[in-house]
Amino acid sequence: MRAVPILTYHQISAVPYPSYVRFTVTPEMFRRQMAWLASKGYTTITLDDLVAARAGRRALPVRAIVLTFDDGCVECVEHALEVLPRYGFTGTFYLVAGAMGGTTTWTRTRRHVEFPLIDWTTARRLIEAGFACGSHTVTHPRLAELTAAECRDELVRSRAVLQDRLGTDVVHLAYPYGSFNPTVRRLAADAGYVTACSIESGLSRASDDALALHRLNVGSNDTFTDFRFRVVTGKRPDDVLPAPMYSLARTARALFNQLTGQARSATR
């Protein structure tokens, strides 16, 4: 069975905050990425589709891809809602049940910034628009650093709250910070989650543990060329090319973009 790219977005903002660049793409880049996926024949599937296909109950499209959005930042959700329907794309939004309508307090210490989060009304609008919502716990902790009882509470309570407020079954989880271990995995299964996304980078292959799925984080550190390469291979170009060759390629690409931009300006 073919490997499937599962893309991870955290924030979409016209002015990426310096300490959060790795987790932010601009609206222009997001639109460009989605347009490219559509032009290449990619079809978004849900995590339910992925599970069913790997159980032999459903066939996957030739070019299947999963779009996921962690945290539920207002800007990210607004841009996703604007762009995805243009291409008939769907996605899963992982929400922090105890922070709805608040801010990303967990980014304050390490990233020195907080972003507004969507409220329950907007989350229900996502469901009504055909998107899925999953759990990102109650408080966004590092689950592997909690006691078993604390971890169980985060997993069970977040699922219960989300199901109650959204009126839909919630069986998909994303581990905050990608923090999990065998105990966390077992507790997630016990809590009723069918899939859980890690931050292990790479394409999701049929051999993936459903409760430790590989994903590809998308941020402003990636050029458009990097993005396309990663969607197809699961790797960054600098993971494959020798560093001097990759550096030369990026310099040549930047020069080409500058020259073509100047040429377009001169003809206007």
Mean pLDDT, range 30-57, rounded to an integer:
97
In the block, tokens 């030369």 appear at: 248
Q: Is it the case that residue 240 has pLDDT exceeding 90?
A: no
Tens digit of pLDDT for each residue in 150-172? 999 999 999 999 999 999 999 99
Q: Check pLDDT > 90 for residue 23.
A: yes
Mean pLDDT in the chain? Answer: 92
Phi, then psi, of 203 in degrees rounded to 5: -70, 150
Count of all residues that appear for the chain in the document:
268
Cα–Cα distance list, 247 to 22, 23, 258 (Å): 19, 22, 17
Q: What are phi and psi of 249, to 5 degrees?
A: -65, -40
pLDDT at 1: 78
Least confident range from 133-142, 211-220, 259-268: namely 259-268
Residue appearing with tokens 């996926």: 37
173: exposed, middle or buried (C-beta count within 10 Å: 0-12, 13-18, 19+)? buried
Could you tell me if 179 and 143 are in contact, meaning their C-beta atoms sit under 8 angstroms apart?
Answer: yes
Asked whether the predicted pLDDT for residue 43 surpasses 60, the reply is yes
Residues 137-143, mean pLDDT to the nearest whole number: 98
Neighbouring CB atoms inside 10 A of 244's CB total 8
C-alpha to C-alpha distance for 152 and 11, rounded to whole angstroms: 28
Could you say which DSSP state residue 63 is in? T
Please state, in angstroms and rounded to a whole number, the distance separating the CA atoms of residues 19 and 211.
30
The pLDDT value recorded for residue 239 is: 78
Burial class of 207 by CB neighbour count within 10 A (0 to 12, 13 to 18, 19+): exposed
Least confidently predicted of 3-12, 23-32, 73-82, 256-265: 256-265
